[in-house]
Chain A
Amino acid sequence: MTWFSLLVLIPLAAVVLTASTNGWDGFWTTVSSSQTASALRLTVLEAIGVTVLNVVMGTALAWVLVRDRFWGKRVLDVVIDVPFALPTIVAGLVLLSLYGDQSPLGIDVANTRIAVFLALAFVTLPFVVRTVQPVLESLERDVEEAAASLGASRATTFRRIILPSLAPAITAGAALSFARAISEYGSLVLLSGNLPNRTEVASVRVLSYIENGNEAAAASVAAILLVVALLVIVLLDLIQRRVARRGE
């Protein structure tokens, strides 16, 4: 417990304290300065976009992995975990080698907002897949069969029977990938170029405040990221409780 406090709780509390040293005004001035505000806006917008993409693609991937059978499925299953295991800086380099200036495809998106999106999509790929997959595996087929025998089409069955039971898992996965997208740093360093007002995200902003010795400002932006992370954890806890209650 002491160890946990020394390593995690006290340092995180220090972030919030430092953010408030200059009072509410100091916090607000930092956050609303044009460069920081645009970094925050970009981060939130990109994170929302990536989360929506993940909800669609992640659910589709989970579906394919559980319900479909085809050659190479095992490989697909393993490859999905690669973004989890790969160091973030390597992830950035990896994407740069296909979508950078030496791209064999001739696509060069380095230092643009598309690159930020790409990096975020890469690092958040496994979240929705891995939360939806086990739920989909444990779904009882009887209900689908009943729906089908009562004349429901496959699409109706999916929309009315399968999707509602997947919803908590999809929400949980979406929350995780949003949190990750908001906080991403490593994969963006090489790929996005960190151009102020264009491709600079919140984490990069924190780092440049630190490098300029402006700890209070760094802590202000960091506190926002921290609050988002905490909200996501609370949301996940609530979802878990609701699902557990329903299962009883």
Chain B
Amino acid sequence: MASDLLPPGAPVAPETAGDTTPGRRGRRPDRLREPWAVRWLLRVVTVGYVFFLVAWPTSLVFRNAFADGSQAVVDALSDESVRLALQLTAEITVWSVLINLVFGVTIAMLLVRYRFPGKRLLSALIDVPLSVSPVVVGLSLLLVYNGRDGLFGRTLENIGIQIIFSAPGMVMATTFVALPLVIREVVPVLQEIGDEQEQAARSLGANAPQTFRRITLPAIKWAVVYGVVLSLARSLGEFGAVKIVSGNIVNQSQTATLVVEQKYQNFEQTSAYVVAALLAAAAMVCLVVVALLRPKETS
């Protein structure tokens, strides 16, 4: 009877009386386990679902990228428009991650350490970029910053700054969508560590920058790194918002994700798959880094 309840592949232990007590290697007592059939059904259904929805399709992209041999990959990557797009994506990502790092930590400090009217509202609004459509993000920036009839766009255009259809707009769109990631990681850690150590440092004569650098920053270090990796992944992959504000001009304002779309629609499938595989690989690296960081954070 007990052998039915063991996980697959586990050696069947010789049955002894009362071996279903909870103390034995954390095995749950019989009455707290699901019937054998239910557990297998759950396993098969969930693993199958994830396999067919995520794992298999994702692996196919890598296979398709290398389907025409490695020369095709090199050719695709040395294509002028692909090269420029990758470069542009890298630049935009670096800028938006830096901006989100600085403002993210600042806003997190503001939210946790200070009281001010509208704090709860700000805290709720921080999440807006996560749930609003990238297309809406793009439109909203377009309405305010376009040079023709935008609220700020016209003034900025007059002093020679173009935002929409150029790099600043794309950085803004990317920053917008990745905005909450650093904040959401740092806020809980700040709440947890409390401000006793900071107060102690202050009372011993440290000024605000010193306290931040020597006390606060080391404590939130891993949360910041984690937030940065998440915004990196998000920034690399932004598509909808950037498509609207960039104007999608080949060799000029086209990012890697936009190149994937354009190449695919022009029936240059290998190029599309190669760039997609590159983006997917970058995303995977971010995932692995995050998975490796997690244990460190708890220790």
Contacts of B158 in A (CB 8 A): none
Q: At the interface, yes or no: B9 with Cβ under 8 Å from chain A?
A: yes
| Inter-chain contact B124/A237, CB cutoff 8 Å | yes
Contacts of A104 in B (CB 8 A): 60
Contacts of B128 in A (CB 8 A): 8, 12, 229-230, 233
| Inter-chain contact A185/B175, CB cutoff 8 Å | no
Q: What residue in chain A is nearest B63 (Cβ atoms)?
A: A97
Q: At the interface, yes or no: B1 with Cβ under 8 Å from chain A?
A: no
| Inter-chain contact B237/A87, CB cutoff 8 Å | yes
Q: At the interface, yes or no: A55 with Cβ under 8 Å from chain B?
A: no
Given known contacts A7-B179, A222-B135, is B284 in contact with A14 (CB within 8 Å)? no
Contacts of A179 in B (CB 8 A): 131
Contacts of B142 in A (CB 8 A): 210, 215
Interface residues of A in 110-159 (CB under 8 A from B): 118, 121-122, 125, 141, 144-145, 148-149, 154
From B47, B122, B239, contact of A87 by CB (8 A): B239
Main secondary structure of the interface of B (DSSP, over half): helix
Q: At the interface, yes or no: B212 with Cβ under 8 Å from chain A?
A: no
Given known contacts A14-B143, A68-B39, A185-B134, is B31 in contact with A7 (CB within 8 Å)? no
A122 to chain B, nearest CB (A): 6
Once the chains are docked, how many angstroms separate the CA of A104 from the CA of B91?
37
Q: Kindly count the residue-residue contacts between A and B in the assembled complex, taking CB atoms under 8 Å apart.
A: 249
| Inter-chain contact B131/A14, CB cutoff 8 Å | no
Q: At the interface, yes or no: B188 with Cβ under 8 Å from chain A?
A: no
Q: At the interface, yes or no: A189 with Cβ under 8 Å from chain B?
A: yes
Contacts of A144 in B (CB 8 A): 32
Q: What residue in chain A is nearest B176 (Cβ atoms)?
A: A7
| Inter-chain contact B283/A86, CB cutoff 8 Å | yes
| Inter-chain contact A98/B56, CB cutoff 8 Å | yes
Q: At the interface, yes or no: A27 with Cβ under 8 Å from chain B?
A: no
Q: At the interface, yes or no: A225 with Cβ under 8 Å from chain B?
A: yes
Of B74-82, B202-210, B219-227, B271-279, which stretch is located at the interface?
B271-279
From B122, B140, B264, contact of A93 by CB (8 A): B264
Q: At the interface, yes or no: B286 with Cβ under 8 Å from chain A?
A: yes
A204 to chain B, nearest CB (A): 8
Of listed A84, A86, A95, A215, residue having the most chain B CB within 10 A:
A86
Chain A interface size band reads 35 or more
From A60, A82, A95, A180, contact of B131 by CB (8 A): A180
A8 to chain B, nearest CB (A): 6
Contacts of B141 in A (CB 8 A): 11
Residue-by-residue, is B5-46 near A (CB-CB < 8 Å gives 1, otherwise 0)? 001110000000000000000001101111100110011011
Contacts of B39 in A (CB 8 A): 68
Once the chains are docked, how many angstroms separate the CA of A15 from the CA of B291?
38
| Inter-chain contact A148/B264, CB cutoff 8 Å | no
- By the criterion of a CB under 8 Å from any partner CB, how many residues of chain B are at the interface? 85
| Inter-chain contact A206/B135, CB cutoff 8 Å | yes
From B107, B233, B261, contact of A85 by CB (8 A): B233
Of listed B32, B58, B139, residue having the most chain A CB within 10 A:
B139
Contacts of A185 in B (CB 8 A): 133-135, 239-240
Q: What residue in chain B is nearest A10 (Cβ atoms)?
A: B144
Interface residues of A in 69-116 (CB under 8 A from B): 69-72, 76, 78-90, 93-95, 97-99, 104
Given known contacts A11-B144, A12-B140, A207-B244, is B32 in contact with A88 (CB within 8 Å)? no
Residue-by-residue, is B160-185 near A (CB-CB < 8 Å gives 1, otherwise 0)? 00000000000010011001000000
| Inter-chain contact B238/A3, CB cutoff 8 Å | no
Once the chains are docked, how many angstroms separate the CA of A89 from the CA of B128?
22
Contacts of B176 in A (CB 8 A): 7-8
Q: At the interface, yes or no: B64 with Cβ under 8 Å from chain A?
A: yes
| Inter-chain contact B132/A210, CB cutoff 8 Å | no
Contacts of A64 in B (CB 8 A): 42-43, 46-47
Q: At the interface, yes or no: A39 with Cβ under 8 Å from chain B?
A: no
From B9, B29, B57, B260, contact of A97 by CB (8 A): B57
| Inter-chain contact A122/B42, CB cutoff 8 Å | no
Q: 10 more A-B contacts (CB under 8 A) besides A82-B287, A203-B135, A230-B128?
A: A6-B152, A68-B43, A78-B288, A87-B279, A93-B276, A97-B273, A182-B133, A190-B261, A225-B132, A226-B132
